[in-house]
Amino acid sequence: MVDDDAEDRQIIKDTFEDLGYGAVIHFEENGEEAVKYLQQCLPLLPSLIILDLNMPKMNGTQTLRFLKGNRTFTAIPVIIFSTSLNPIERDECLALGAHSYVIKPISYTQTVDVVKHFYNLCNELSKTGSSSQG
């Protein structure tokens, strides 16, 4: 998960732990750090990238464009995870190759549902071999 908001990262981390999923998620604060991390992961890449849009250094759209333009990372599904309800922004991300666009939850119940969705999608992707394990 790539998100510059420490509180958002902590909420997602806590929810993963509350659901008993363990330490299956890794966090970076911006796109630049995420790219460095992914390059260190080779050849075992993550099954899924959850990407915020509004970040310093390298924002979500720039990061998505980089990932989908790079043969090494293009097969990794990317979910945009944002507070933005802007349909133009959503459509741009989907056109750039995002798997989906998820609005950040505003309640704990919604957070649980979103985390379950992320976890289940990772499991499905791992089974279908869309990318390497991670």
DSSP 55: -
Which structural domain, as residue segments, surrounds residue 80? Answer: 6-126
User: Rounded to two decimals, what is the model's pTM?
Assistant: 0.88
- Would you say residue 132 has pLDDT above 50? no
Question: CA–CA separation, 96 vs 60, rounded Å?
Answer: 11
Q: What is the mean pLDDT of the chain?
A: 90
pLDDT in tens, 37-48: 999 988 888 989
DSSP, collapsed to helix, strand or coil, labels residue 10 as helix
Residue 131 lies in a domain: no
DSSP, collapsed to helix, strand or coil, labels residue 131 as coil
Domains contained in the chain, number: 1
- Would you say residue 130 has pLDDT above 60? no
CATH of the domain at 68: 3.40.50.2300
CA-CA-CA-CA torsion for 5, 19, 113, 53, nearest 10 degrees?
20
- Would you say residue 110 has pLDDT above 90? yes
User: What pLDDT was estimated at residue 129?
Assistant: 56
What does the buried/exposed string (b/e) look like for 24-37 if buried means 16 or more CB atoms within 10 Å of the residue's CB?
Answer: ebebbbbbbbbbee
Q: pLDDT class for 84, splitting at 50, 70, 90?
A: confident
Residue 90 lies in a domain: yes
Residue 63 lies in a domain: yes
DSSP count for the chain of H helices, then E strands: 5, 3
